[in-house]
Amino acid sequence: MDIVRFLRCEVTGLHPEGKFVLVRLLMKYQADGGFSRTVQDLADDIGIRAPSIAKALAALEAHKLLSVSSVSNGRGRPVRRFLFTAHLKASLSKVSLPDGYTPACSVERLVETGSDGTDADIIHRPDWTDGILHQKRKVGRLSVTNRLLVAVMMTAADRLGVVNSLGLADLRGATGLSKERLIYRLSRLVAIGVIRCRIPGATGHELFGLAKSTYVFNLADPELAVLDLKPTVIVKPLLATRPSSWCSLGESVYVSANQPHNPGLVSEDERRSLHRLLHVRGYFDRRDRGQISLTLEFKLLFYASLLLSNHRELVPTFPADFPAQEPSEVLFLQDRFRRDFPSAETAGLASILELHACLWEAVCRKAIEIQKLLNRTYLPLEGEWDFLVLPVPLQAPDIRYLTVLALPKAEPTVTGCYIFGGDAALPKRFPSETEMDVSSRLDYGLLSGPGPRAGGYRE
């Protein structure tokens, strides 16, 4: 798709505003091969000040992406004619995409948003000072650079806003940002609520090999509302009588799979399952338990969400009923396992099968618990839905909550945000999660706090 090539095309040395202007020009004039417009006309169309447009055009000419000539316009001054160069076309052709690739959302809408160049639309954002949440602050739209960054990332997002195939190097090449500026802006997007959370990747670990970070975008954010992909939010407590059924693969479990915090509540089968998963022939690197645990935990949640989204009918009621190996209908999970755990390919067939069996068992256990939770909501979730379990559930002393995003594949039968209490039969409903206070959204894992690089509020 052309918009994906425009956004992911790498131009070394071009600043982000120049890249944004180039994308907008290609979207509008590629079919014509060029354009004849004044700087002020372009500024009005794109929504950027005229001096910035002039600077961007000069940069594009310097990088040999545009060629400029003067065309006689009869009487008066000649008109400048801008043409897209062969060098630009060659750069676009280098963008590698799978056959038939189409982004899950209308990315061009993100690029065109705010084209009037005004800050008339006021947006409430979380206001952080020194890592402490004070109150919501009113701000305008995202900057041009942040809009470019979000649009590039959304070319690889699924329908629920999960991006897990673009690393820092990919984003640096597509946006023109330095590594430090890119990390800063990503942390700012998390802090202001455009990105719900970031799950760190891993580099060189035996279990994962090289794993890129995963970003979950907040599709309910007013800046992303143009995508028309607002998921239903369900926050539901897990059964307090059996908290171990949702046993986290966190650091405490990694310390000793055979000695969980509540040994009396963990069955021998669950204990053996965790032990197998964590000790598969050295695939776990003990030197970095914290990073690995969060990465692995979200991967299992993501796999379980995929299983529910594609074959909800295959999820059994009890763990003892799931098949020992993946059925043919879910071979896509085997492909995900191979892609996400490449180091297993060098360990021999027996180790691969053992690892896949452990992963399949863990995914089934999580899918069963999610299915039970959804059934107990008594919400009309018939038909086909895409599901995603967020990785940061609310934790209370005596109960745990789970936050699920649900997006229908057809017309929605239920919308809004549903918060189920511990004993309440009926949930508290909000028309949109944005109508909840920020602190509650943080508690339920719908937002994350700023990272150490987020700094103050200033861009």
pLDDT along the chain (459 residues), means of 10: 88 92 92 88 88 92 89 71 91 84 86 56 69 66 91 94 92 94 91 88 65 90 87 79 41 37 50 51 49 72 91 83 79 84 61 73 83 86 89 57 88 87 78 86 81 40
Amino acid letter, residue 385: W
What own/partner pairs with CB < 8 Å and gap ≥ 24 does 52-59 have?
52/17, 52/21, 52/144, 53/21, 55/17, 55/18, 56/17, 56/18, 56/20, 56/21, 56/22, 57/21, 57/82, 59/14, 59/15, 59/18
Residue at token pair 């979000």: 150
pTM: 0.84
Q: What is the pLDDT of residue 236?
A: 84
CA distances to 203, 307, 346 from 300, rounded to whole Å, are: 19, 11, 22
Q: What is the pLDDT of residue 207?
A: 62
| Domain 120-227 CATH class label | mainly alpha
Q: Are 361 and 320 in contact (CB under 8 A)?
A: no
Closest residue by Cα to residue 223 from 192, 188, 186: 192
CA distances to 367, 379, 384 from 308, rounded to whole Å, are: 7, 16, 9
Tokens of 409: 């594949």
Given this chain, do its domains 2-102 and 120-227 carry the same CATH topology?
A: yes
Q: What's the rounded Cα separation, in Å, for the pair 358 and 228? A: 38
Q: Are 448 and 198 in contact (CB under 8 A)?
A: yes
CA distance from start to end of the chain = 32
Q: Where are the domains of the chain?
A: 2-102, 120-227, 232-431
CATH for 2-102, options being 3.90.1640.30, 1.10.10.10, 1.10.8.60, 1.10.10.410: 1.10.10.10
Q: Are 200 and 186 in contact (CB under 8 A)?
A: no
Amino acid letter, residue 285: D
Q: What is the pLDDT of residue 398?
A: 55
Identify the DSSP state of 1: -
Q: What is the pLDDT of residue 203?
A: 66
What backbone phi and psi angles, to 5 degrees, belong to 47? 85, 25
Considering only CA atoms, give the Rg of the chain.
24
Write the DSSP string, 68-112: EEEE--SSSSPEEEEEE-HHHHHHHHT----TT---SS-HHHHHH
Q: What is the pLDDT of residue 237?
A: 78
Name, in order, each residue with C-beta under 8 angstroms of 215's C-beta and a sequence gap of 6 or more.
Answer: 153, 162, 163, 164, 186, 195, 197, 198, 199
Amino acid letter, residue 123: I
E strands in 274-355 = none
